[in-house]
Chains A and B, each alone.
Chain A
Amino acid sequence: MSEEASKEKRKIKSAKKMRDLMTTYYLDALSASQNNKKVAWITSGGPVEPLVAMDIIPVYPENHGAMIGSAKMGEDLCAKAEDMGYSADLCSYARSDISCAVVKGGPIGGLPKPDMLICCNNICGTVLKWYEIQARYFNVPLFIFDTPMCHTGYSRPVADYVRAQVDEYIRFLEKVTGKPFDHDRMAQVGKLSMEGQRLWQKVLNTTRHKPSPMSAFDAFFFLALIVTLRGTQVAVDFYKELIQEMEDRISEGISIVPEEKYRLLWDNLPVWYQLKWLSNTFSAHQACLVADTYTSAWCGAIQYIDPDRFLDSMAEGYTRIYLNIGVDQMAEQVIQMVDVYDVDGFVMHSNRSCKPYSFGQMDIMNIVRERTGIPVLMIEADMVDPRNFSQSQVETRIDAFMEIVKQGRDKH
């Protein structure tokens, strides 16, 4: 088979449909005000289901940040935010979103103006100030959903505190929209959300197969739907099709990396502006990034959610996500993934932007190394701001790391 034909065969066909769905989603959001619909900006790990139940269109500045990064437009927008007076040490999603709101830049000319902002701090503390800034700029109401850090467990006072906010959240939505909350509709949305998350987990699990039908780089792309359209039939239907395609690839023996020999696990957000280069660099070593700690965060708390008591259990599910638990529990999840996906090495992205994700990585690295014995690589970069990425330095580290991975495999 020619190289072209082989490349064509490996292409994931669902990608086109996914792009179309995302385009439709953004067009709907951008034309919301013409259709008498309200738009809420919400953090990536925020409780979106009540918005969907209220027919409010959720828009994600973080997903937008990822698009800006992938479109390699991060540098200009981050620099613009620095011109406005924001520190270069601030998260690059926050910087690019803040400046984009003003200059209407980026790949889609800025997000639609919000009618309200929903900020959940289960993913980081930066979002509090970031959303306060945007609430002032757009002069719209802001709801803060506060999820205390769960270092060890989920105590009764925490449970009561978070659950009480679910009711406040609903009252907030009723006030902003002037409509009563529909609990029947909420129950349906809750079930769809759960189903979507279960299907997403199933998509990710297809990479347990050797060779893997897709990689973490594909997961970074297909993730957008479980983030933005969680709780909708669209997401459920799409992931069913995607699973089917993956199963077909497995039965036809189509792998994403030609002649996959080594399997790796990725930690932290993607380096959005270098996805292709990173993917090619690992592929050249016959290495496939089969799993990651990032995309699994959108199905990692399923165990806490009961679709029949969605609102009650949602409080716990949203509080106990990967970035809101203790370092030892994070390490435990990584070790489990090393086993489930049978990986030969662990690649950690020390992300200058994402403090909660990157703080504690040294400890996780040591725990994982000690318990599993697999080699671990740490690379320094940033998810959106390319000024914090040095290609030749990262390349040397990857090459040296792969020498160790190969050596380790040869021994066994």
Chain B
Amino acid sequence: MICAGIDIGSITAKAALVRDQELVDTLVIKTGYDHVKAGERVFEQLLKKTGVGREKVCAVVATGYGRASVGFADKAMTEILCHGTGAHFIDPAIRGIVDVGGQDSKAIRLDDTGQVTDFAMNDKCAAGTGRFLEVMANALDVELAQMGEVGLQSQNPSKISSICTVFAESEVISMIARQQKREDIIAGIHDSAAARVAILARKTKLADPVMMTGGVAKNTGMRKALEKHLGFELTTGRLAQENGAIGAAVLASRLSVGS
């Protein structure tokens, strides 16, 4: 039995296929302007990539901010539930998740059966989200994907005091003007964003082992900064960004069994 999960985020759309409790494959594309088309596209492309016929897919669960715009999904579920399910599917030992995505960051606590017992999300502010890092990468003229590595070279991280993304950006620009090292500024940015995310983790009383998910998990510098704030190491895999879609696919297979 094959089931699919579609996660429409603010920046990227993700799809995952699960066959009999085994992950088949995943795919990530840019969401773009049209959420409806993004859902269709990511699903079609993944089916093509895996050679699975659409008629073979028993159930689809949609999640993410665009979850309501995936017309072909059987059910929409929140990314909190999907990330919890995805992390438990990949590693049943996980008891907490720190998910840093494009427009929000969240902390999720799980029990030993993988059920969500508590969660916290950032308030209406981009500090501590992927968008914050994106704005800073732009100001520093560095590729977003390179930010993590560059920041890790810092010996003397700068201190960013503004929480507001817009103010932090002007703070960064004045640091550039004062010719502070790029790696130091980046390390300061990671530290500032990590401090915001760590508050959410403490609110939900996350305890080791915790998985970091979402696109920002690929940023090693940000992950290290977060580990420093939390006082323990985070696990992350190559499928951190697709975790929500994987969870959605697992939930879809439960849905399918249930019916």
Residue numbers of A with Cβ under 8 A of B are 350, 362, 369, 375, 378, 380, 388-390, 392-393, 396-397, 399-400, 403-404, 407
Contact = CB atoms under 8 A, between A and B. Distances in A.
B184 interface: no
Contacts of B79: 396, 400
B104 interface: yes
A400 B118 contact: no
A18 B245 CA distance: 50
B65 A404 contact: no
Given A392-B65, A393-B104, A403 B121 contact: no
A157 B110 CA distance: 50
Contacts of B117: 375, 404
Among A396, A397, A399, A400, find the residue whose CB has the most chain B CB atoms closer than 10 A.
Answer: A400
Given A393-B104, A396-B65, A403 B77 contact: yes
Contact of A380 (B65, B104, B119, B124): B124
Per CB-CB distance, the 10 closest pairs between chain A and chain B, nearest first, are A400-B80, A400-B78, A380-B123, A399-B78, A390-B124, A403-B81, A396-B78, A407-B115, A404-B116, A400-B119
17 contacts: A350-B123, A375-B117, A378-B120, A380-B123, A389-B124, A390-B124, A393-B104, A393-B124, A397-B121, A400-B79, A400-B80, A400-B81, A400-B119, A403-B78, A403-B116, A407-B115, A407-B116
B227 to A, nearest CB: 24
Contacts, number: 40
Nearest to A394: B124
Nearest to B65: A392
Contacts of B115: 407
Given A396-B65, A400-B116, A403-B80, 6 more contacts: A378-B120, A389-B124, A393-B104, A396-B78, A397-B121, A404-B118
B248 to A, nearest CB: 13
B118 A375 contact: yes
Contacts of B81: 400, 403
B75 to A, nearest CB: 12
A327 B80 CA distance: 30
A390 B125 CA distance: 10
Contacts of A350: 123
Nearest to B104: A393
Given A396-B65, A403-B81, A404-B116, A388 B121 contact: no
A89 to B, nearest CB: 13
Contacts of B121: 393, 396-397
Nearest to A404: B116
A3 B123 CA distance: 37
Interface string B114-145: 01111111011000000000000000000000
Contact of A388 (B77, B119, B124): B124
Contacts of B77: 399, 403
Contacts of A378: 120
Nearest to A378: B120
Contacts of B80: 396, 400, 403
Interface string B54-83: 000000000001000000000001111100
Contacts of B119: 400, 404
A369 B205 CA distance: 12
Contacts of A393: 104, 121, 124
A393 B126 CA distance: 12
A375 B80 CA distance: 14
Among B115, B117, B123, find the residue whose CB has the most chain A CB atoms closer than 10 A.
Answer: B123
Nearest to A403: B81
A392 B80 CA distance: 14
Nearest to B120: A378
B174 to A, nearest CB: 25
A399 B116 CA distance: 13
Contacts of A388: 124
B103 to A, nearest CB: 9
A393 B119 CA distance: 14
Contacts of B124: 380, 388-390, 393
Nearest to A350: B123
A406 to B, nearest CB: 10
Nearest to B115: A407
Nearest to A377: B119
